[in-house]
Amino acid sequence: MKEGDTASDRYDHKFGSSAPLSLGVEEELLLVDERHQLVAQGEAVLEQVAGPVGDRVSTEIFTEQIELKTGICHGADDVLADLSELRRAVADAGFRMLGTGLHPAAEGEPTLVANSRYEVVREDLGNLLRTPPCGLHVHVGMPDPDLAVRLANAFRRYLPALQALSANSPFQDGADSGHASARTSIVRSYPRFQVPREFRDYEDFCRIADQLIAAAGVDDYTYIWWDVRPHPRLGTVEVRAVDVQMDVAGSSAIAALIQAIAARELADPSDTGLSREALEESYFQAASHGLDAEILLDSPAPEPAREACRRMLDSVRPYARELGSEAALTEIERILREGNGADEQRRVHRDAGMEGLLDHLAERTL
């Protein structure tokens, strides 16, 4: 940074470039063969999926996974339509996918995409990169940098509830991991995957990001994989703390919930005074126990996750209604009644075994 420049000068942000509270969603999905085992077809997908959706499909760190990206969406219906179109395009090109945070019983060793960006990751993580973790990332458009930081700060307290609702990776290496989201346990071994501290303002965020970039020896802030972060290049706040969902209805529902939370926080900011350390522990409890966890939300006293999530849902429903996304929240209500993806995977595995679970995941992903 040149003398006299501010951190804000260095981060050439795009806040205000899209409508406030617009949505963008990224799904990471596993690529599998006819036996539902991982297959290195990421580059082949890019070659085969063309046309208007081709530029919204990209490879990820492993060759056995892809990322599907919506356009700029106004609400949950747009997200549902975009993700449905993208999954159909990949399937119509002859590829099979699984919507799960981790493959339940992967065979063999996955490989990293040959990309200069991932060389830094390879050097940092070495043999820790053993299985592709698949997340759901939700971007919310922000009108200016300081509002983005304020919203990112506020979102930290919702992370345990979002984790409890979205956990969808109970199995690893053919066995029950004992966690609702084993994906979270995997990525917590990676650097810079954590609940971030609270920032005073955008300048403070840039200052801390600069220090972390220097310490990590990476090129820019996109190597900082916090559970929620301002994303200056896109002009958004990005929530990264949840597992990918089995179907597009689940993904659009989580996006609708995150959008409604953002609207509520911008209209009526909350401040519970919870520390980063307490929120990190509560997030871990949700990753471990899902909807059976005791989590923090509105106070320092933990409470059953279902109760906290129901109260959260009730508090944001009016904002979802104003945004035209209230109907999508019926899927959140279903999750609260019937369980999250981890609960569903365990029920299917109990009744049909691992082969039946893999069949189920493949069917639900389509």
Instruction: Please state whether 198 falls in left (phi above 0), alpha (psi between -120 and 50) or beta.
Output: beta
Q: What rounded mean pLDDT belongs to the chain?
A: 93
| Of 298 and 144, the one with more pLDDT | 144
Look at the block and give the residue holding tokens 């307490």: 278
pLDDT at residue 127, rounded to an integer:
65
What gap in Å lies between CA 57 and CA 36, rounded to an integer? 21
pLDDT band at 1 (very low <50, low <70, confident <90, very high): very low
pLDDT score of 3: 42
Those residues whose C-beta lies under 8 Å from the C-beta of residue 229, and which sit 6 or more positions away, are 152, 196, 221, 237, 238, 240
Check: CB of residue 108 under 8 Å from CB of residue 93.
Answer: no
State the alpha helices, DSSP H only, in the chain: 7-10, 42-48, 76-92, 116-125, 145-155, 159-166, 182-187, 202-216, 248-267, 276-289, 305-323, 330-338, 341-365
Q: What percent of the chain has pLDDT over 70?
A: 96
Average pLDDT, integer, range 213-236:
94
Element (H, E) at 25: strand 23-32
Helix (H) or strand (E) holding 269: none
Distances in whole angstroms, Cα of residue 226 to Cα of each of 190, 229, 267? 11, 6, 25
Query: Could you tell me the pLDDT band of residue 271, with boundaries at 50, 70 and 90?
Result: confident
Q: Which fold has domain 7-365?
A: Creatine Kinase; Chain A, domain 2 (3.30.590)
Question: Would you state the pLDDT for residue 124?
Answer: 72
What is the predicted pLDDT for the residue at 111?
A: 87
pLDDT tens figures, 318-360: 999 999 999 999 999 999 999 999 999 999 999 999 999 999 9
Contacts 24+ apart (CB under 8 A), 180-183: 180/286, 180/287, 180/288, 180/289, 180/290, 180/291, 180/293, 180/340, 180/342, 180/343, 181/101, 181/243, 181/286, 181/287, 181/290, 181/342, 182/101, 182/102, 183/101, 183/102, 183/133, 183/134, 183/135, 183/243
Phi, psi of 118 (to 5 degrees): -85, -5
**pLDDT tens across 138-155, in order?**
999 999 999 999 999 999
Lowest mean pLDDT across 111-125, 182-196, 207-221, 312-326 = 111-125
pLDDT above 80: residue 23: yes
Identify the band that residue 108 occupies on the pLDDT scale cut at 50, 70 and 90: confident
Output 117 or 322, whichever has higher pLDDT: 322
**Tokens 């990949």 sit at which residue?**
90
Q: List, as one string, the DSSP characters of 64-79.
A: TEEEEE---BSSHHHH
CA–CA distance, 120 with 333 (Å, rounded to integer): 41
User: Domain spans of the chain?
Assistant: 7-365
- Could you tell me how far CA 85 lies from the centroid of its own chain? 20
Which of helix, strand or coil describes residue 49? coil
